[in-house]
Amino acid sequence: MSYQVLARKWRPRSFAEMVGQEHVLQALVNGLDTGRLHHAYLFTGTRGVGKTTIARIIAKCLNCEQGVSSTPCGSCAACREIAEGRFVDLIEVDAASRTKVEDTRELLDNVQYAPTRGRYKVYLIDEIHMLSTHSFNALLKTLEEPPPHVKFLLATTDPQKIPVTILSRCLQFNLKRLSVQQIAAHLQKILDAEGIAWEAGAVAEVARAADGSLRDALSLLDQAIAYGGGAVREAEVRSMLGSIEREFVFDLLEALAEEDGAQVLAVVARLAERAPDFSDALADLLLVLHKLALLQTVPASLTEDEPGYPRLRALAERLTPEDVQLYYQIALTGRRDLPLSPDPRSGFEMVLLRMLAFRPAGSVVPPAPAGPKQSPLASVRAALAPAATGKQQTAPAAPAAPPQAAPVPAARPAPTRAASAPATPPAASVSSAGRPEPAAPVADEGGAVDWIQLVERLDLNGLPRQLAMHCAWGGRSGNRITLHLAPEYEHLRVDAIVQRLEAALAEYFGAPVALALEVAKPRHETPAERAEQKRAELQRKAVETIEQDPNVEAMRKVFSAELVPNSIEPIN
């Protein structure tokens, strides 16, 4: 008997054999078992996730001689013929090769006739989005009101190209890409059943290369078995896929941990001799960094049977979590930008050099030798390191200091939002009745008070506070208080708002108050004007602080960076 490829030999023959897609299978199983059958089903998803496989299983469920159910027997004539692709009442159509309206009309001419052998006549139309507009129009009426003995099973990888008039007449099921773990577990099961020796790392490589498609995974597994002479080994699978050995990734990370740029470039040179795909090399680097982050954060998430576990453990102890997180972000961005580089190797090297240049503070860094002046790049690294981690930087001890002397901590560089808190006004004293009393005595009739300070002590918020902020003291005569309101804020002169301000003043002074609000240009400074003046001063100081920051100065010198004053905001 001729050899049958794994993708065909291990195609699921029932819902129980399907891998993943539980959200779709549950709905189909319940519908078949309860007899709630729709006349048209649409399955969408990327290649190799099980669209046509599920459609063929449904055809078995509908036509099994044991009756309609979600568990066809698989042994009756109808089930066998459907599995072998020769059931007369299962009409499979490749819409990609039959796009003309004449083909569709010819197909639908026989819809009205009863099935020859089975219970239902099933039309399985694959890649239906390839049909022409006229073909969709020809299909529309039949799809809307099909005969009771006809079921339509439609599959597509691009549902956006299907007219909404077709979509609205179907039950839609979106099949998901399978995870690496799901694919790897299924491949191991198949290899064990086939009696083929395998390595966990090799299976994981195949599962990752399949990119969510189980059919692609089985095709790659066939290729790996042939390449390995009947066994699936990690080194041979990596060679077949053109991916790099994990040892190179470990060597790169160890060189980065040592901050040894020469060693980093030496590893890249050895790697380049194998003519790798440098984008895939960055992907491998990202995978290892992910495992390092897991090992540092949740050590129990990785077991000792993980490939390369001893070196992973050693790296997790040498690199700080800040190192790992920054390296991951730089590699992720570098992989996206790699096609823009002059050539892949130089782009790959620049990603690694960027990791060296912007390593966070707090990492274990060997002391710099005395002698030549630091390069601009090294000085920028030193300047930017504290900002990368949000931690305080420790300045090295002076050369004349004894070895046991502790380093002198340097001040943390100012953030973009300069911190500067306004002075807190003195708290008002509280009377025995629990009512606040003014810190300074209020002048008698005709006298003036510090209205700006008084507003801060009034129990106000919302619009009443806004009204008070835009007023100036006009005077007091008996229980009558006069305030001047700037004309541009006359819209705040609403009875309900004025009454709340009047009540707050009465509570403050401990006596009834008659508030007279005059719309006139204030003769004194209003609280709002004072607050704006203070805010402008804080902004000026914040900009000045940022401009004098040594980190900013370093970036200006090396990168010709420009400061955008409007991007600076003081912290109140």
What are the backbone angles phi and psi of residue 41, rounded to the nearest 5°?
A: -120, 135
Burial of 151 (0-12, 13-18, 19+ CB in 10 A): buried
Domain boundaries of the chain, sorted by first residue:
6-174, 180-241, 246-357, 443-572
- The end-to-end CA distance of the chain, in Å, is 82
- What is the rounded distance in angstroms from the CA atom of residue 318 to the CA atom of residue 313? 9
pLDDT grade for 187, boundaries at 50, 70 and 90: very high
Q: pLDDT tens for residues 283-310?
A: 889 999 999 999 888 888 887 777 778 8
Cβ(191)–Cβ(232) below 8 Å = yes
CA distances from residue 24 to 20, 27, 174 in whole angstroms, order as listed: 9, 6, 8
Residue 199: what are its φ and ψ, rounded to 5°?
A: -115, 140
Alpha helical stretches, state H, 321-450: 321-337, 344-357, 376-389
Pick from 39, 54, 44: nearest CA to 121: 39
The Cα-based distances of 235 to 76, 239, 241, 249 in angstroms read: 45, 6, 10, 14
Rounded to whole angstroms, how far apart are CA atoms 199 and 211?
20
How far is 349 from 337, CA to CA, in rounded Å? 13
Q: Which residues contact 55 (CB under 8 A, 6 or more apart)?
A: 41, 43, 124, 153, 155
pLDDT at 374 over 50: no
Say how far apart CA 46 and CA 175 lie, in whole Å.
Answer: 8
Q: Mean pLDDT over residues 260-281, rounded?
A: 87
Residue 435 is predicted with a pLDDT of 40
3-state secondary structure of 359: coil
DSSP state of 42: E
Q: What is the third-level CATH fold of 246-357?
A: Zinc Finger, Delta Prime; domain 3 (1.20.272)
Domain 6-174 top-level CATH class: alpha beta
3-state class (DSSP) for residue 150: strand
- pLDDT tens across 211-228, in order? 889 999 999 999 999 988
> Which residues have CB under 8 Å from 505's CB, separation 6+?
458, 481, 513, 515
Fold of 443-572: GMP Synthetase; Chain A, domain 3 (3.30.300)
Per-residue pLDDT, 383 = 44
For 35-91, how does the pLDDT look when each residue is reduced to its tens digit (9 = 90+)?
A: 888 999 999 998 889 999 999 999 999 999 888 989 998 889 999 899 888 899 898
pTM score, two decimals?
0.54
What's the pLDDT score for residue 427? 40
Reported as a single tens digit per residue, the pLDDT across 223-245 is: 999 988 889 988 888 888 876 67
pLDDT at 361: 52
Chosen CATH of 180-241 out of 3.30.70.100, 2.60.120.10, 1.10.8.60, 3.10.290.10: 1.10.8.60
Residue pair 319/310 in contact by the 8 Å Cβ criterion? no
Residue type, 193: A
| pLDDT value of residue 390 | 42
Q: How far apart are CA 237 and CA 259, in angstroms?
A: 32
Q: Cα-flanking dihedrals φ and ψ of residue 388, to 5°?
A: -70, -30
